[in-house]
Amino acid sequence: MTSPLLTRLRAEWAPSIPRELLAGAVATFALIPEVIAFSFVAGVDPSVGLFASFVISLVIAFTGSRPAMVSAAAGSVALVAAPLVQSHGLQYLFAAGLLAGAVQVLFGLLRLGVLMRFVSSSVRTGFVNALAILIFSAQLPHLAGAGIATWALLALGLALIYGLPRLGALLGWRALTAIPSPLICVVVLSVLSSALGLALPTVADLGQLPDALPVWGLPAVPASLETLRIVLLPALAIAMVGLLESVLTAAVVDELTDTPSDKNRECVGLGVANIAASCFGGIAGCGMVGQAVGNVKYGGRGRLSTLFAGVFLLVLMVALKPWVSQVPVIALVSIMVMVSAETFDWTSLRTLVRHPHLSSAVMLATVVATLASHNLAAGVAVGVLLSGVFFAFKVSRMLDVRCEDRGGTRTWRVSGQVFFASADAFIEAFDVLGAERRNVRIDVSHAHFWDVTAVAALDKVVQRLRHHGCTVEVVGLNAASAVLIDRLGSGAA
C-alpha cells in the first residue's frame, strides 16, 4: 500500500514521469534562443545566461512553490543589469545578484507576496499579452531578409507543431500525441537542413556555447561600503522586477492548472535560486511566462519538468554541444512563435468591447507601456497605477448626499465612501448658506470615512455650518469611522 507521503510527493513532483520529462525538454528548447538573446542584452557571454538558467531551474524545483513553473535568466532582469555590467563589469553583476536574492528571500519571509493581490486581472492579461508580443517580435530579426528556404522551414515547423497532435488524435496514433510536437519539429528540421545542405544560421551562430560545467565561487569584488553603494540600487531593481514577474507567472500557471501556490514561498525560492546562480557565475533570473505556458501545454504538472528543463539544458549545451550547435535557428524560432501564440490571451480581444471600458483601458495601457519600454515591470506598474486611479474614481462616484427638511430641522443623509477622491464632492453637497441659523443633522449611518482627507472634509462642513449660526449634530457614525474621527479630527464633528 502506497504511503500518503509518497502519494503526495508523486503528485507534486511527477504525476506522469514521461510527460514531465518531455514537457521539460520542450521548455528547454524554448529557453535556448531567449537566454542567449538576453545574455547579449545584458552584455555578458551566453554561458552566463545558460549557467544561470541551469542553476535557477535546478534550485527552484526544490525551493519554489509553483510546480511546473519554469524560471531562468530573463529579459527584464537583463535590461536592469546591463548598465551595471557596462560601468563596473561582470563580477559586480554577480554581487548584485547575490544581494537581489537576499532581498527576495527577505521579501518572502516577511510575507509581502500578498502585495501581488493588488495586481488586477486586467493588468495580468495585459502582462501576458505584452510578453507574447515581445516574444514574437524577438523572432523577427531571424526572419528579416531570410530566403525561401528559411520561410519554408518555418512553415513546415509550425505545421509539424500544430498538425501532428491533430493527426495523431485523428488516426489514433498515440506516438504522435505522446511525444511533444516541438521536439519532433527540432529533429525533423535539423535532419532536413543537414540532408539538403542548407546554409542556414545555427545555434552555434548565436554565440559561444559553454564547454564545461559551472564552477562555484563568490564574486571577486571588494567587501566594502563602496561596493555596496555600487550594487545596491541595481540589486533592488533586479529583486523587484524578478519578484513581480515570478509571482505573475505563478498566477498564470495557477489559472492554467486550476491549482493554488504559495506566493511567499515562491519569493523565497527565487531568492535562493538567484543566490546560487550568482555563486556559479550566472545572471539573476525569474519566472518565464512563455516557457511555463509551453511546459504546462505539453503535460508539465510537477516539479520534475522544471528540474529536467534545467538539467537537459546543461546536457545539451555541454555534453551534446556538437549536435546542438547544428540545430537550425529557424527550428527554435518555430517553437518560440508557438510559445507566443499560446501565451497570448486571444479571448481578451473578443471581450475587449464587452468588458467595462476602464478595465479594457488598463489592459491596453499595460500592453502599450510594456512594448514602449520593453520592460514588463514598467508595464505592470502603469497598469496597477491606472487600476488604482480608476477604482478610486468609480468608488468616489458612489457617494450620495440627500437633503430633507422636517420640523424645523434640516437633515443631510450621506451614503457611500468618503475618502480623498470623494472628499471635495462631499463638501460641495452641503448648501451652507441655505441652512443659515437652522438646526442641522448630518446622518452618516450609511457612510464610511476612510482617511484623514475624509475626516478633514467632515470637520470643514461642520465648521462652516456653525460659522453661519447652525446647530450641528452628526449621527450614525460607525465604530471604525468614529475611531478615525476621534484620532484625527479637530473636534468640530
DSSP at 328: B
| Separation between Cα atoms, residue 308 and residue 313, nearest integer Å | 8
pTM for the structure as a whole: 0.78
Per-residue pLDDT, 342: 84
DSSP at 208: P
Q: What is the largest CA-CA distance in the chain?
A: 99
Which residues contact residue 183 at a Cβ distance below 8 angstroms, ignoring those fewer than 6 apart? Answer: 22, 25, 26, 29
Question: Coil, strand or helix: which one is 441?
Answer: strand
Helix %, strand %, coil % for the chain, to 5?
70, 10, 25
Does residue 298 contact residue 138 with C-beta atoms inside 8 Å? no
Does residue 238 contact residue 80 with C-beta atoms inside 8 Å? yes
Does residue 280 contact residue 216 with C-beta atoms inside 8 Å? yes
DSSP at 202: B
DSSP at 398: T
Per-residue pLDDT, 3: 76
| Separation between Cα atoms, residue 422 and residue 274, nearest integer Å | 45
Per-residue pLDDT, 266: 94
- Other C-beta atoms within 10 Å of 393: how many? 12
DSSP at 407: T
Question: Coil, strand or helix: which one is 409?
Answer: strand
Which residue type is seen at 351? Answer: T
Chain-centroid distance, C-alpha 131:
9
Which residues contact residue 436 at a Cβ distance below 8 angstroms, ignoring those fewer than 6 apart? Answer: 468, 469, 470
**Cell numbers linked to 26:** 520542450
Chain-centroid distance, C-alpha 86:
26
Does residue 349 contact residue 305 with C-beta atoms inside 8 Å? no
- Other C-beta atoms within 10 Å of 359: how many? 18
| Separation between Cα atoms, residue 31 and residue 289, nearest integer Å | 11
**Cell numbers linked to 422:** 470623494
Per-residue pLDDT, 204: 83
Which residues contact residue 342 at a Cβ distance below 8 angstroms, ignoring those fewer than 6 apart? Answer: 290, 293, 294, 297
* Rg of the chain in Å (alpha carbons): 29
DSSP at 113: G
Print pLDDT tens along the chain (493 aa): 467 888 888 888 988 899 999 999 989 988 887 788 778 778 788 888 889 999 999 999 999 999 999 999 887 788 778 889 989 999 999 999 999 999 999 999 998 877 777 788 898 889 889 888 888 888 888 888 888 999 999 999 999 999 988 888 787 777 667 778 888 899 999 999 999 988 899 888 877 777 778 888 899 999 899 999 999 989 998 998 888 889 889 988 999 999 999 999 999 999 999 999 999 999 999 998 888 988 998 889 999 999 999 999 988 888 888 888 888 989 988 988 888 888 888 999 988 888 888 889 999 999 999 888 877 778 888 999 999 899 888 888 889 999 998 878 899 999 999 999 999 999 999 988 887 778 999 999 999 999 999 999 999 999 999 988 889 999 998 887 788 777 766 655 6
Per-residue pLDDT, 35: 85
Per-residue pLDDT, 81: 84
Does residue 85 contact residue 219 with C-beta atoms inside 8 Å? no
Does residue 290 contact residue 131 with C-beta atoms inside 8 Å? yes
